[in-house]
Structure 1
Amino acid sequence: MSLPPARMPRPLLDARWRQAVDALVGGDADAALIALDALARAGHAPAQCDLGRALCYGVGREADVAAGLQWLLRADAAGEPRAAFSLAVIGLAGIWIARDAGTAARRLRHAAQAGFPPALRGLALALRAEDAADAQRISDICLAHAAARGDPVSARLRARPAFRMDALSPLPLLPEPDLSRGLAPPPARRTLCTDPRVEVADQALTAAECDLAIALGTPFLRPSATVDPRTGAAVKVPLRTSHDAVFDPVVEDVTLVAMQARMAAFADKPLGCAEPLALLRYGPGQEYRPHRDYLPPSRVRPVPEGGAGQRDRTVIAYLATPEAGGETAFPDLALRVPARRGDLLRFDNLDAAGRPAPRSLHAGLPVARGEKWICTLWFREAAYRGA
């Protein structure tokens, strides 16, 4: 007769935990979650973390955010660095709990000091925006340690010009980053049109942030589809010839959340109103022909009925400047916005009365040379994430 988890020695608990995680990854969610629940109740902090994340994000069963957060908090209190990192991401987003950049920074530092690769990567990028004399050196060291610990995103970032490829130095005592700087709205915006409103924020993203979004999303790219207005189904049509990926909240990190919070501030919308962030890549000759972002009625649940409503606003982040072409054009407004790395573009899809605005017609013009990379957030009228 096997021992109950509460009486198992730690090596056996660890083995059972690894089996449960393998089952979860392999698709046997029911058995995995039952095992994780038993291990979590026995006080196994890694299992508490994985159970908490599964419950928060609805992995294998309907989401239970309140229960998931409690398990993550218990794992964090036990010193589990992955739980600290998850809570840092959640705390920075400010959707399930009130945003607290200071607490998120402390948790990020703890997870990074413990050697958790995504936390090392997040701390590295946060430090690049700081003016402290040692910030850039420590940033390079953190990214090098994340890459050495097997993080492929960090390895890709290390090869970018913003980071040095020095030999691996010992990990120092890490500082607590100022994450609030990454949440602030762009300091200035240019209004290109008022009906519908079209605005640009110049150089609102750093080069490192742009590279991070590309590196995180590239493995998930697929040929783009669009919505059939009659059926609401996603279909592949000549209208849209790019590749895209939608970021699952499970893979988001502090940098990506901070970017989205800044995009939301530029949109004058809460981040909770945004659909998941989308990454798009356009190669030579690829385009998105004239279209509007508001959805067909079949895909909209009105706000009075408890839904998130229509897409009322769009924000595009330009991550890479093509050598030629790739502008965002508004044919009815006689506007063309260059796809310049680091810039944000915002435009309204509804008029002041909340009706679809036909003049929001826009297109991603064909790329003539090079590649164009963008991230897009579509904002609903009311809460979408966590609703």
Structure 2
Amino acid sequence: MQTFDQVRAQAMAGDPAAQELMAQVFEQSGQVDEAVAWLARAAKAGLPSAHARLGLWQVVGFGVAQAPADGVARILAAAGAGDPFGLNLAGILDAGGVGTPRDPARAVQWLARLAAGGDASAACQIGLLIGLRGPRLDLARAALSQAAAAGYAPAVRILGRKPPRATPVDWTAAAAAVDLSPFEGPIERRVERESPRVRMISDLLPDWACDYVMSLAEPALVRAKVVDDETGGEAVRDERSNRVMNFGLADSDVVLELINNRLAAAAEMPPENAEGLGVLHYAVGERYRPHVDYIADTPANAPQLAQRGQRVRTLLVYLNEGFEGGATEFPRLELAYRPPRGSALVFDSVDAEGAPDPMTLHTGAPPTRGEKWVISKWFRTKALRPPPA
């Protein structure tokens, strides 16, 4: 284990790997300017992973001026060079259409290259996208067994306690067998109310996608926060006791981006206007007391509203069953909904003129038995990440 001074000396001497490590150290300590400076030096020296990370920062505007086209170019160059971090980011950008035209087929090709290099997450995603039913089940299970053998928790959870022995996989054939139809089928909306606007959508996500999202989120759950209208920030409050994992762009993957686009289509909103994929977990007794999803127009919230726009639409996907209670209740409308697994509830937080609608007050009721898992997606009036170029 090297000391900080040893790594710094190597970085000063021109070692690009040490320079990238210095950038990560400063990023974690919140010294963003120092992090950018070191990362730029590593990228200038030609380190592909540094190019990929700097590209990500350019795409999202972290520590540098937002420049999506330049960032995408850096990431694709790193992916073309076979850098694992670049391959992962390239798959995310292509699957989500982030700063580049949406291209799920190319995203799968990036995944296949990652899996061929031994990446367990990529192997798991390809196995799931091939499908756990149908004529290529053997190929799907082979891909998943590679991920399970590496200890990748989602694959272990899906295959069960005794996963099959890992066998070699032809990743070119595996990529060709991927089936994207679960994310491209028609979406049928059932009208519940016109004002406030409320819709129900059955069978939006397949069961395996629900399991995958829960397994990714579970290790990273933290206490959920609420918007503090007096400070403009977020804080832990008694009115919300559940836990949450919010997936940002750097936390995402190809499957999650396919899900994001499916949810945006269901909500009839641009994908780039969505906040990060939130996965909510409620244990027995945990709840989110009556609240609204729109942002109150207070002086403290003014900068947020100006930069990110108003929250206008919410989509909730219930990910599991086998619990009691836990409905989404609208006390002022005297309505309550608990969609079946994989189905969604979509409702507006504003009226037809775009004004906040207090009739959309709702609560996340606590489960009285079992645990509740839900995807929550908030959509804004402004883009939160680069749209497809």
TM-score normalized by the length of structure 2: 0.84
> Is 1:55 the equivalent of 2:58?
yes
Quote the residue 1:210 is aligned against: 210
Runs (4 or more) in structure 1 with deviation over 6 Å come to none
Retained in 2: the 8 A contact 1:225–1:236? yes
Equivalent residue of 1:190, what SS?
strand
Write the letter of the residue equivalent to 2:316.
Answer: I
Shift of the alpha carbon at 1:207? 2.0
Quote the residue 1:74 is aligned against: 77
Which consecutive residues of structure 1, in runs of 5 or more, have no partner in the other structure?
none
Task: Give CA deviations for 1:258-279 in whole Å, capped at 9, x if unaligned.
Answer: 1111111011001111111212
Retained in 2: the 8 A contact 1:184–1:265? no
Shift of the alpha carbon at 1:353? 1.1
Quote the residue 2:101 is aligned against: 98
1:108 equivalent among 91, 108, 111: 111
* Compared CA separation, residues 235 and 301, structure 1 to 2 (3 A): closer
Identity percentage of aligned residues? 30
Q: Quick one: distance in 1 between partners of 2:175 and 2:63?
A: 37
* Compared CA separation, residues 295 and 149, structure 1 to 2 (3 A): same
Equivalent residue of 1:72, what SS?
helix
* Compared CA separation, residues 236 and 26, structure 1 to 2 (3 A): closer
1:107-256 equivalences under 5 Å are 107-128=110-131, 131=134, 133-134=135-136, 136-149=137-150, 154-160=152-158, 165-173=163-171, 174-176=174-176, 178=178, 180-184=180-184, 186-256=186-256
* Compared CA separation, residues 113 and 35, structure 1 to 2 (3 A): same
Retained in 2: the 8 A contact 1:185–1:265? no
Retained in 1: the 8 A contact 2:20–2:38? no
Retained in 2: the 8 A contact 1:162–1:207? no
* Compared CA separation, residues 68 and 235, structure 1 to 2 (3 A): same
Retained in 2: the 8 A contact 1:157–1:211? no
Q: Quick one: distance in 1 between partners of 2:62 and 2:133?
A: 36
Shift of the alpha carbon at 1:22? 5.5
Paired residues, number: 373
Shift of the alpha carbon at 1:382? 2.5
RMSD value, Cα: 3.1
Q: Quick one: distance in 1 between partners of 2:83 and 2:59?
A: 17
Shift of the alpha carbon at 1:165? 1.0
* Compared CA separation, residues 274 and 35, structure 1 to 2 (3 A): same
Q: Quick one: distance in 1 between partners of 2:358 and 2:165?
A: 56
Quote the residue 2:25 is aligned against: 23
1:328-343 equivalences under 5 Å are 328-343=328-343
* Compared CA separation, residues 203 and 162, structure 1 to 2 (3 A): farther
Q: Quick one: distance in 1 between partners of 2:344 and 2:324?
A: 19
Q: Quick one: distance in 2 between partners of 1:97 and 1:46?
A: 20
Shift of the alpha carbon at 1:297? 0.7
* Compared CA separation, residues 193 and 164, structure 1 to 2 (3 A): farther
Quote the residue 1:261 is aligned against: 261
Q: Quick one: distance in 2 between partners of 1:110 and 1:242?
A: 38
Q: Quick one: distance in 1 between partners of 2:335 and 2:323?
A: 20
Write the letter of the residue equivalent to 1:145.
Answer: Q
Once structures 1 and 2 are overlaid, which stretch shifts more, 252-261 or 329-338? Answer: 329-338
Retained in 2: the 8 A contact 1:185–1:263? no
* Compared CA separation, residues 158 and 25, structure 1 to 2 (3 A): farther
Retained in 2: the 8 A contact 1:186–1:201? no
Task: Give CA deviations for 1:98-123 in whole Å, capped at 9, x if unaligned.
Answer: 21222222222222223223222221
Q: Quick one: distance in 1 between partners of 2:303 and 2:261?
A: 25
Quote the residue 1:325 is aligned against: 325
1:283-362 equivalences under 5 Å are 283-298=283-298, 299-300=301-302, 307-362=307-362
Write the letter of the residue equivalent to 1:247.
Answer: F
Equivalent residue of 1:356, what SS?
coil
Q: Quick one: distance in 1 between partners of 2:114 and 2:26?
A: 23
* Compared CA separation, residues 92 and 332, structure 1 to 2 (3 A): same
* Compared CA separation, residues 22 and 361, structure 1 to 2 (3 A): closer
Retained in 2: the 8 A contact 1:322–1:339? no
